[in-house]
Amino acid sequence: MNIDLTKYLKNKDIKFKNEDFDIEALANDVKGEATKGYVSKTDYDKAVKDKEVELTTKYSQLENNYNSTVKQLSDTNANLSKVSLEKTMISKGFKEDQFDEVSKLRSSLFSEEKDDVKAVESIATKFKDTYFKETTNTQPIVPNEGGLNGGNQGQNNGGTIVKITRDTPLSSLTAK
């Protein structure tokens, strides 16, 4: 390396020659000081790649945790709304074996209704004969007939005794 150091002197009274200095050592020192704190491109690229892998892994873990939390929340909300609907159905008098069918009616026919209580009430009134069959006494009224020994004679069929023969019409034998 051939550098003339005399042209860089501010004080011209000092006399020296280039041979008085070790130029190679000076160049290495200057180069070392000038590049102090700098990182080589290969080291920089490696550090960036390592950081990218680390952040990508953390992001994937956070995304998985978020998705599982959202799914768990959704499942919990669905279960809570199902239990609330079942509670409403029980309070309106539906039986447990009817829950699935009424839930389907709720979600299909009455989906625009936001309130479960109103929707179940509408189902109960609209499908009243399907779910709440009225129990009526289906047994015919039996007339108060006399016993084997003739007790309570004359009390059947409006107080008249019907004599049964071949010519007796059936209409006179039925209770009125």
The SS3 assignment for 16 reads coil
Number of folded domains that form the chain? 2
Do 125 and 72 have their domain in common? Answer: yes
Whole domain around residue 168: which residue ranges?
141-176
Residues 10-33 pLDDT 10s = 777 777 777 777 777 777 777 777
Query: Within this chain, do residues 145 and 120 fall inside the same structural domain, yes or no?
Result: no
CB proximity list for 113: less than 8 A, separation 6 or greater: 119, 122
User: Domain check: are 52 and 120 in the same one?
Assistant: yes
145 and 164, same domain (yes or no): yes
Q: Which pLDDT tens digit goes with each residue over 78-117?
A: 999 889 888 888 888 888 888 888 888 888 887 788 888 8
Q: What Cα–Cα distance (Å) separates residue 170 from each residue in 78, 153, 160?
A: 64, 20, 15
